Amino acid sequence: MAKRKRDVPQEAEPVERQSSSKKQKPKPQKVAAAPTIHKLKSGQPVTIQVVAGSYDRVLHGITAAVNTSALSPAEKKKSENGASAANAVNFADTFLFDAHSSSIRCLALSPPSAPVPGQSQKVLLATGSTDERINIYNLFAHPPSTRSADDQKVLSSITPRPVLENNKNRELGTLLHHSSNITRLSFPNRSKLLSASEDSTIGVARTRDWALLHSFKCPVPKLQGRPTGDTAAAGGGPQGVNDFAVHPSNKIMLSVSKGEHCMRLWNLETGKKARVLNFERSALMEIGEGRHSTGEARRIVWGSADGEDEFAVGFERDVLVYGMDCRPKCRLVENTKTKIHEIEYVKTEGEETVVAVSTEDGRILFFSTAKEKVKAPVEKKGEQKTASLPSATMVAQLGGKEAGVNGRIKDFTVLPVEDEDGERSWFIVTAGSDGKVRLWRLEAGDLRSTGETGKQVGKLLGTYETQNRITCLEAFIMIPRPDGAEESELEFESEESEDDDSDDE
């Protein structure tokens, strides 16, 4: 019996889906990481957002609008002849309030959020204090709009200082996973926040939901040589993490603690301790960390020189630079007997870098740790022990008494920029206990190694008096507002939805 052929059904025509009238937010596009170097455009001002913490519990936000036309070659010639450029920087207050119940110890800024068409970008701000709290804020990454500037004219007319508030700057919440003073904060990337405390722990929090993912526990150092009659309670000796530094690969981390003559290497992939690196006794004696000193490291930062990774360890009065073999490469502050506050690597040209060190006498010293710039130790007559550590070459110095800066530089931030010709320069924001925030400009040739050592560089663009004892400072160059972001309906809708959610709670 023959089989009957089945009728093949005809292919159905695709039906067009009706698009819903509800507006949907565009999905963020995966883009490459934005370059950290800001491009200068002629005639367009550069706005720098400065955030300063103080002993007085005050968190102070300042915007500095730099007039790029005042930095043109013609204006530079006028300034050299004695006629300074007027209105080179315009400062304004963006926020000012008591963020904590005690002094603010450290700040951290995250990379800006990924750009989305029609929406604005934001930056996360974390503040740490001696009240064991970490406050999280959301900062608007774009300069204030002209519409908001007009609204603030009335407020600025009745205040002694210009005011330029931004309603999009909001507080997100507080983290309470530490039980002692917060000593250091860092955003290695947009998704993680690392925090160190005097409870000898380093916490790793996820920024998506602010959950504590892991806590690195550093051992409490054993007290040695305590004097007879010491009334300190058990466990009341110096303890806690002073500083930590995450490698650019985000795979390893170094930390230094109080009461220890060593640094610890951590594996961020496994969450375990990898190694303990002890400081050599001879090296500590040579840099002044002798018998009557603590011998502990205060600061640590990763960098590179000659295309190879290295890290700098800051002590009370000197800095040691180590290679990847964990051996001392050179020392920085050899002939300058002053306290060290902050350390930062500055990239100059190509793979060349210099180390910037802020001091107690109001200067920022720039050192080159390249192999050809490291000087061999010099034997001095009359000394029993000869120096064994090479010393780096001081390329330049900024500030100091010659520039009218007498107080300490407690913290600073280096912001690289490039002009239309591709020539690199830097804006440097400094702050100290005198309450003054200073904005400097460094040209491309200022940090080039020449025959002159320790030359005075930098041009002071402006000074702002905060009237608070500043302890920490962070700054970033605000991103130019994209087309359509100022009047974006999606941006206002997202703000309204956030307000509705908060009302429901």
Q: CATH number of the domain at 169, please.
A: 2.130.10.10
Torsion sign across C-alpha atoms 306, 311, 313, 314:
positive
pLDDT score for 328: 93
b/e code 234-252 from CB counts within 10 Å (16+ = b): eeebbbbbbbbbbeeeeeb
The first and second tokens of residue 465, run together, are 């008096």
Give me the pLDDT at residue 494, please.
43
Nearest to 455 by CA among 391, 382, 368, 397: 397
| Residues 6+ positions from 399 with CB-CB distance below 8 Å | 362, 363, 364, 405, 409, 430, 438, 440, 458
| CA–CA distance, 50 with 172 (Å, rounded to integer) | 19
Amino acid at 403: A
CB 202 within 8 A of CB 218: yes
**What does the pLDDT read at residue 15?**
47
Asked, for residue 272, whether it belongs to a domain, the answer is yes
Percent of the chain with pLDDT over 70: 77
Residue 307 counted as domain residue: yes
Q: Are 354 and 321 in contact (CB under 8 A)?
A: no
Asked if residue 4 is part of any domain, the answer here is no
The mean-pLDDT minimum among 173-177, 203-207, 384-388 falls in 384-388
* Phi, psi values for residue 175, rounded to 5°: -105, 135
Over residues 241-281, the pLDDT tens digits come to: 999 999 999 999 999 999 899 999 999 999 999 999 999 99
Give the angle 163-111-301 at the CA atoms, nearest 5°: 105
CB distance 298 to 270 below 8 Å: no
Q: How many domains does the chain have?
A: 1
pLDDT at 112 over 90: yes
- What is the span of the domain harbouring residue 245? 38-219+238-377+385-504
Residue 397 above 60 pLDDT?
Answer: yes
Domain annotation covers residue 229: no
* 28 within a domain of the structure (yes/no): no
Distance CA 412, CA 355 (A): 13
pLDDT digits (tens, 9 = 90+) for 41-66: 877 889 999 999 999 999 999 999 99
Confidence category of residue 28, pLDDT binned at 50, 70, 90: very low
H/E stretch holding 306 reads none
Confidence of residue 159 (pLDDT cuts 50, 70, 90): confident
Q: pLDDT tens-digit profile of 90-104? A: 999 999 999 999 999
pLDDT grade, residue 419 (50/70/90)?
confident
> So what's the pLDDT on residue 492?
37
In this predicted model, what pLDDT tens digit does every residue of 308-319 receive, in sequence order? 999 999 999 999
Is 127 within the bounds of a domain?
yes
Name the β-bridge partners of 70.
Answer: none
Give a yes or no: residue 9 inside a domain. no
Average pLDDT over residues 431-449: 90
Give the β-pairing of 393-399 and 455-457.
parallel
Contacts by 210-218 with C-beta closer than 8 Å and gap 24+? Answer: 210/136, 210/172, 210/173, 210/175, 212/175, 212/177, 214/271, 215/177, 216/253, 216/255, 216/266, 216/271, 216/273, 218/255, 218/257, 218/264
More confident position, 105 or 4: 105
Residues β-bridged to residue 163: 93
Which pair of tokens denotes residue 415? Answer: 């912001």
Residue 224 lies in a domain: no
pLDDT, tens digit (0-9, with 9 covering 90-100), for 307-358: 899 999 999 999 999 999 999 999 998 877 889 999 999 998 877 899 999 9
Q: Which of 389, 345, 336, 340 is nearest to 367 (CA)?
A: 345
What's the predicted TM-score (pTM) here? 0.84
Longest dimension (CA), the chain: 120
Length of the chain: 505
